Structure 1
Amino acid sequence: MTIAREFNFDGLVGPSHNYAGLSFGNVASFSNVKSASNPKQAALQGLAKMRTLAARGFAQAVMPPQLRPDFPMLRAIGFGGSDADVLAAACKAAPVILACAYSAAPMWTANAATVSPSADSADGRVHFTAANLNNKLHRAHEHRQSARSLRAIFGDAAHFSVHDALPSTPAFGDEGAANHTRLGNSHGAAGVELFVYGRVEFDPAAPAPRRYPARQTLEASQAVARLHGLDARRTVFAAQNPDVIDQGVFHNDVIAVGNGNVLFYHEQAFADEAGTLAALGAALETVEAALVPLRVASADVPVADAVASYLFNSQLLTKPDGAMALVIPHECRENAAVARYLDGLTGAAGPIDELIEFDLRQSMRNGGGPACLRLRVALTDTEARAMHKGVLMTEELYARLVDWVERFYRDRLAPADLADPQLARECAAAAEALERILGLPGLYRFD
């Protein structure tokens, strides 16, 4: 059996991190709309998580932020003149669109792409498909830089294939790895890939949420599976429960997370819980694995508490001894129902024997927890050697990035600050310096 490790690529929070409340359906994002953010603290909180997990022996890397503001988008919709003119005109005529152009949402790299390891793909390469994120204006332009960053890091075509985003149409609404997980015995052996969708474009009779939009379509999930050359026997498509979407579960990773052969999920996560578990169990049998469902009942943790605490938007990581650790945000301890559940979780004879807690409050206030911040990439030793090494988290890189944040980031950013041309200059200078730190020259220069 081929040996492989899971690398977590955490999004580095960008210097324009702000609370604009742009993500309808994301309760936390809407709850903090127009309050002042702290970009410096946000970036340092994320870096602290990366450093701690790397020190624990987990394979950890950095995904660079995207350049903001998105001047090409602003110019494409009619704002012209100098950069300062563009900002002033957008602020006056369309402040919400200006906020979209400044969004630092690429920090949530679970939405950057869907990833299939080489053990699952027909051609034996690691496949990435950049997510089009076409449900929200502030994220719909991310895929271009996401694909560019992925190709810069995973540029060896002998080992990696980076696909452009699916067509940007409602039929192919794709939110990336936030609606995808992989189950199996190991990262180096064939596994089962689970795609969770919220609606079916070409079946108007299929259940759909009524209050909030379903962002992932079945058609998009099927297209990604085809692009990655996945075996139909080891690919499962499951419908998300439309009722929980209407309660703020905008992505499946807000209500379920998988690792190894363990699926940690809320009883209301799927439209057909029994059918989903049966399909996963049958698929796992083809790779000689047995599903271990870890079900959380509504009586123990109501959906509202799961959303408020982001219990399921935690990272489920396999430790060197084979046991699993659950990486949780502080908010899980601040919610009474979730705290009670967690107190009994590690004491039971289950697969999770440790909780690792982090302060990610800046990200949480904007609607993203530990799992949102990372993109999981399983790599063999050969593939790991073939990728760009400058993004791997080390003590040296951590120190350089902390210094970079201290130099370029503001500790307070209010909505009115987005019209300040100096902020745009600071973001550009930070991006230029980051290219040198990560050894990725030209990362932000488009032809």
Structure 2
Amino acid sequence: MGGNENLVEINFDGIVGPSHNYSGLSLGNLAATKSAGKIAYPRAAALQGLAKMRHNMALGLTQGFLLPLPRPNTQFLSDMSVDVDADPALTAMAWSASSMWTANAATVSPAPDTADGRCHLSVANLVTMPHRSIEWADTLAQLRVAFADERHFAVHGPVPATFGDEGAANHMRMGQAHGEPCVEIFVYGRPGGRFPARQHEQASRAIARRHGLGPERSLFIEQSSTAIEAGAFHNDVVAVANENVLFCHEQAFADRDAAYAAIRDAVPGAEIVEVPASAVSLEEAISSYLFNAQLLTLPDGSMGLVVPGECVESPSVSGWLDRMQSGNGPIRRVLPVDVRQSMANGGGPACLRLRVVADPATVDSRFLLDAEKLDSIATIVEEYWPETIDPTLIGSFELSEQVEKARIFLLQSLNLNELG
């Protein structure tokens, strides 16, 4: 299997697909429902995502990507016997570009944590949201190409949807270093509130067993129902972890004191950077996506926080970030990026990436980025992605043809035709 010296964190960002639109399909995601019916800008959205990848590469970080899924999903439309004019809601589900938020593509347990010393990835069933529940088969096919080396990876299908959802958006990993054994934290919600609790405890426990995580390598913590009610549809809207640091809102967990005690007991030297509600309200934290940030270890060993530009525009959030940077805490840099098109649909910088700790040499190189490949992707986007999409035009033959053609050109340019 090799040692841990070559293991690094690779962020696999989702390329925003050419069918990116605002149909408001995601109950409990306040940004998505607020934007429902507005004009979307797929080309700008994809270029913003690529600019974020370029930004992180310039920091000296290893960057990968995942492809947009085939849209419209004609198999789903056929299975549902959908007539475009008769059921626009189902048509919109088949057009959703939500796979761009690869944070919820799969739950990932890196090799140092698992019983067999391989990195395990379980594709998320995403059963709570109908438009996302149809993603897993195409996502699984892609993961099995990108991580095909079975000496180093085990790629699993979804856990049964008997209990509910699971996925990396409610999963954190804490320890001394990415390449060392760490503790994986599964955050789950309890059903019965105004909005769905998307992650289920039993689904999370099934993932931990499947991935070979012993009791010393897994924690299960309940998400605050207050946070879910406020619009924190995933834990990564109110908390993010990196190595030994947890950055979270005071109201992220159901039992704050017990959660912190469990983390400190399981992770020696754990540092918890808590933002109190008195400084930044839960509502402001969610609207600015302060915690849907990428907390990253930079090449010099310090930590940086990649935040959406909306954080800078919020007086309470920007004020707190300024005070944090002037202190002596573990997060030394705040790095704003523009992902406004994604933000308007309910996904910040952290939603757009799947974290995988691995040796880059073991990953299919077609999914790893360099400057030349990034430029090539940007050229395809600029030429073939629709400039705008009006939700009332979803389902039209002309738009469908343009969206399908755009993805085909992208696959051809990357030599990934087997995913067509």
TM-score band, normalised by shorter chain:
over 0.9
Name 1:420's counterpart in structure 2.
Answer: 396
Residue of structure 2 aligned with 1:253, choices 216, 227, 236? 236
Residue of structure 2 aligned with 1:349, choices 301, 306, 328? 328
1:374 aligns with 2:374: no
SS at match of 2:93: helix
d(CA) in 2 for partners of 1:209, 1:300: 29
SS at match of 1:214: coil
TM alignment of 1:388-399, pairs within 5 A = 388-399=364-375
SS at match of 1:294: strand
Q: Which moved more, 1:184-193 or 1:249-258?
A: 184-193
d(CA) in 1 for partners of 2:57, 2:213: 31
1:268 aligns with 2:251: yes
Name 1:39's counterpart in structure 2.
Answer: 42
1:437 to partner: Cα distance: 2.3
1:160 aligns with 2:116: no
1:213 partner amino acid: P
SS at match of 2:247: strand
Name 1:134's counterpart in structure 2.
Answer: 127
Is the contact between residue 166 and residue 172 of structure 1 (CA under 8 Å) also seen in structure 2? no
d(CA) in 1 for partners of 2:230, 2:192: 10
d(CA) in 2 for partners of 1:391, 1:148: 13
SS at match of 1:195: strand
1:15 partner amino acid: P
d(CA) in 2 for partners of 1:250, 1:2: 34
1:123 aligns with 2:126: no
Residue of structure 2 aligned with 1:173, choices 165, 176, 181? 165
TM alignment of 1:23-422, pairs within 5 A = 23-79=26-82, 89-90=83-84, 92-169=85-162, 171-174=163-166, 176-199=167-190, 208=191, 210-284=193-267, 289-380=268-359, 384-422=360-398
TM-score (norm 1): 0.92
Identity of aligned residues (%): 45
SS at match of 1:268: coil
Is the contact between residue 197 and residue 216 of structure 1 (CA under 8 Å) also seen in structure 2? yes
Is the contact between residue 25 and residue 248 of structure 1 (CA under 8 Å) also seen in structure 2? yes
TM-score (norm 2): 0.97
1:109 to partner: Cα distance: 0.2
d(CA) in 2 for partners of 1:57, 1:158: 27
Name 1:84's counterpart in structure 2.
Answer: none
1:7 to partner: Cα distance: 0.3
1:11 partner amino acid: G
Structure 2 unpaired stretches of 5+: none
Structure 1 unpaired stretches of 5+: 80-88, 200-207
Name 2:24's counterpart in structure 1.
Answer: 21
d(CA) in 2 for partners of 1:375, 1:186: 18
Name 2:413's counterpart in structure 1.
Answer: 437
Is the contact between residue 183 and residue 192 of structure 1 (CA under 8 Å) also seen in structure 2? yes
d(CA) in 2 for partners of 1:280, 1:319: 23
Q: Deviation per CA, 1:241-277, whole angstroms, max 9, x where unpaired?
A: 0111001000000000000100001111001111111
1:343 to partner: Cα distance: 1.2
Question: C-alpha root-mean-square deviation of aligned residues, in Å?
Answer: 1.1
SS at match of 2:295: strand
Name 1:204's counterpart in structure 2.
Answer: none
d(CA) in 2 for partners of 1:440, 1:419: 26
Is the contact between residue 128 and residue 164 of structure 2 (CA under 8 Å) also seen in structure 1? no
2:23 partner amino acid: A
| TM-aligned CA distance change 1:311 to 1:333, over 3 Å | same
Aligned length: 417
SS at match of 1:243: helix
Q: Deviation per CA, 1:21-48, whole angstroms, max 9, x where unpaired?
A: 0001000001110000000000000000
Q: Deviation per CA, 1:115-134, whole angstroms, max 9, x where unpaired?
A: 01000010000000000001
d(CA) in 2 for partners of 1:435, 1:192: 37
d(CA) in 2 for partners of 1:279, 1:439: 46
1:50 to partner: Cα distance: 0.3
SS at match of 2:113: coil
1:326 partner amino acid: L
SS at match of 1:188: coil
1:160 partner amino acid: F
SS at match of 2:419: coil
1:438 to partner: Cα distance: 2.3
